[in-house]
Amino acid sequence: MEQTVWIIILVIAAANYLFRVTPLLLLSRFRIPPSWIRWLGYVPVAVLAALVAPEIFLKGDILVLTPENKNLIAAIPAFGVAVKTRSLLFTLLAGVASMALLNSLP
């Protein structure tokens, strides 16, 4: 049983490595236009927004933009800290602190 688990872990690790290295090896031989590089710079931000926005704005499948939405209220100071500091650490700390404060209120 334990040997099977290790084999599965190693196969998944090898596949993960292969999927990450292959594009690097293929694309390193081509010159990517600067406009593409600039466009690709927006991909992580767009993915993060797509993951975070439903958690902030939706309760189930319903859009909730009221003061009862604690996620939305906690996101406001976190967003402000993100804009001001450009620091992921400080943004996360602000979001966690805001959510903790909101959850401690009656």
Identity of the residue numbered 74: A
Q: How far apart are CA 71 and CA 100, in angstroms?
A: 11
At 1-48, the pLDDT tens digits run 789 999 999 999 999 999 999 988 888 888 889 999 999 999 999 999
For residue 39, the model assigns a pLDDT of 94
58: three-class secondary structure by DSSP: strand
Beta-bridge partners for 59: 62
Band (pLDDT 50/70/90 cuts) for residue 106 is confident
Nearest alpha-carbon partner for 91 in 99, 103, 79: 79
The 8-class DSSP code of residue 87 comes to -
The 8-class DSSP code of residue 31 comes to P
Output the pTM of the full model.
0.64
60: three-class secondary structure by DSSP: coil
For residue 11, the model assigns a pLDDT of 97
Tokens at residue 25, please?
């090896």
At 37-85, the pLDDT tens digits run 999 999 999 999 999 999 999 998 999 999 999 999 999 999 999 999 9
For residue 5, the model assigns a pLDDT of 95
Over residues 87-99, mean pLDDT:
96
